[in-house]
């Protein structure tokens, strides 16, 4: 054992204690990350119930009207443009397919952009990983220095919204 700064701890003891502190800090960060994920999941679920219900009703009513609208378009083409019934129905079907393709494209783009829901969890996880990398990079830290995980206002021990 050597004496450094008034301490008689062996290097192995110092390493073991530092590793234990690191393991505790990593466990605390994992717990807080899971808590944040749970809270965001509950909020997302709560915020999605009414919009999904309204969208379901709109989809059912809208889908029920599509055949009527397309047939009306076809009959209007027969009467106003003097086209045959077969050509008019074909044109109406193509209009329906084009409308569906445009809606699918817009929906796909919106779905791809909707990944912002988990932004807080992603940012916090990134900060936690950066902190772990910084702690592991430094070989030793002075005794008594504050090097634990940063607790933001949303990272308290009690669940958010409780």
Cα–Cα distance list, 105 to 22, 70, 108, 115, 128 (Å): 48, 21, 5, 17, 37
**Residues found in the chain:** 162
Report which of residues 135 and 158 the model is more confident about: 135
Given a contact cutoff of 8 angstroms between Cβ atoms, the answer to whether 92 and 73 are in contact is: yes
Q: Identify the pLDDT of residue 156.
A: 44
Gap between the Cα atoms of 44 and 70, Å rounded: 37
Q: How confident is the model at residue 64 (pLDDT cuts 50, 70, 90)?
A: very high
Domain ranges, ordered by start, for the chain: 11-114
Nearest CA to 36 out of 162, 129, 156 is that of 156
- What span, in angstroms and rounded, lies between the C-alpha atoms of 7 and 24? 23
How sure is the predictor about 7, in pLDDT bands with cuts at 50, 70 and 90? low
Question: What predicted TM-score, i.e. pTM, was given to this entire model?
Answer: 0.43
- 159's CB contacts (< 8 A; 6+ apart) are 35, 38, 39
Helices and strands of the chain, counted as H and E runs: 3, 0
Q: What are phi and psi of 160, to 5 degrees?
A: -70, 145
* Residue 97: per-residue pLDDT: 95
Per-residue pLDDT of 98-157, as tens digits, reads: 999 999 999 988 887 776 667 777 888 888 888 887 877 775 455 555 555 555 544 444
Return the residue matching tokens 């607790």: 151
Task: Rank 3-7, 89-93, 124-128, 152-156 by mean pLDDT and report only the highest.
Answer: 89-93
């Amino acid at each position: 054992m050597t004496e450094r700064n008034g301490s008689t701890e062996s290097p192995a003891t110092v390493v073991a204690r530092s590793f234990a502190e690191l393991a505790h800090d990593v466990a605390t960060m994992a717990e807080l990350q899971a808590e944040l994920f749970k809270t965001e999941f509950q909020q997302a679920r709560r915020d999605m119930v009414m919009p999904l219900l309204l969208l379901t009703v709109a989809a059912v009513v809208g889908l029920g009207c599509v055949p009527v609208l397309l047939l009306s378009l076809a009959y209007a083409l027969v009467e106003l443009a003097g086209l045959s019934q077969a050509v008019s129905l074909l044109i109406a079907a193509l209009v329906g397919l084009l409308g569906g393709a445009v809606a699918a494209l817009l929906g796909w783009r919106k779905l791809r952009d909707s990944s912002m829901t988990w932004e807080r969890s992603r940012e916090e996880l990134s900060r936690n990983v950066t902190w772990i990398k910084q702690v592991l990079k430094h070989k030793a830290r002075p005794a008594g220095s504050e090097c634990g995980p940063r607790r933001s206002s949303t990272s308290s021990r009690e669940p958010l919204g409780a």
